[in-house]
Amino acid sequence: MSDPNAGLISSLRKTLPWVRFLSVVGFLLVGLFGLLAAVSWMGHASSQSSAIPPQALFVYPCMMAFVLFPAVQLHKCAKKMSIFVAQGHTVQLEEVLEAQRGFWMFLGGVALLAGLVLLAAIAVGVLAAL
């Protein structure tokens, strides 16, 4: 008797390395933004404070937070995927899909926010042109 989840397991087995890779890239970006934030804050505290734009003091920590959430969601998803690929229980597949839901919900929110910002910028541009 064949496993009804064999096709799902095969697909997720092929997807798993990419989910892990993107999670690692996300964590590396968090580290890079953390380093840039530390450098900008140290530069601001030193005598070189005029060389550091004040926006850098807030942009890098915000970018850290912005990248951290999807990296964590992808990491959770990869862990759940590896368990499902190893054991193949349907309950574990539900956990994989729930972990993915958090990631896609975040990206949907980002897309919605970006669309609203774009609409606001268009409205400001149109009003400024009048």
Q: What is the pLDDT of residue 17?
A: 95
Query: For position 37, what pLDDT does the model report?
Result: 86
Entry pTM: 0.79
Q: Are 67 and 109 in contact (CB under 8 A)?
A: no
CATH class of 6-129: mainly alpha
pLDDT (0 to 100) of residue 47: 62
Domain ranges of the chain: 6-129
Task: Spell out, as residue ranges, where the chain has pLDDT lower than 70.
Answer: 1, 44-52
As a residue count, the chain comes to 130
Closest listed residue to residue 11, CA positions, set 75, 114, 97: 97
pLDDT reported for residue 121: 96
DSSP annotation of 49 reads: G
Question: What was the pLDDT predicted at 39?
Answer: 83
pLDDT in tens, 41-53: 777 666 665 666 7
Amino acid at 34: G
User: Per residue in 71-87, pLDDT tens?
Assistant: 999 999 999 999 999 99
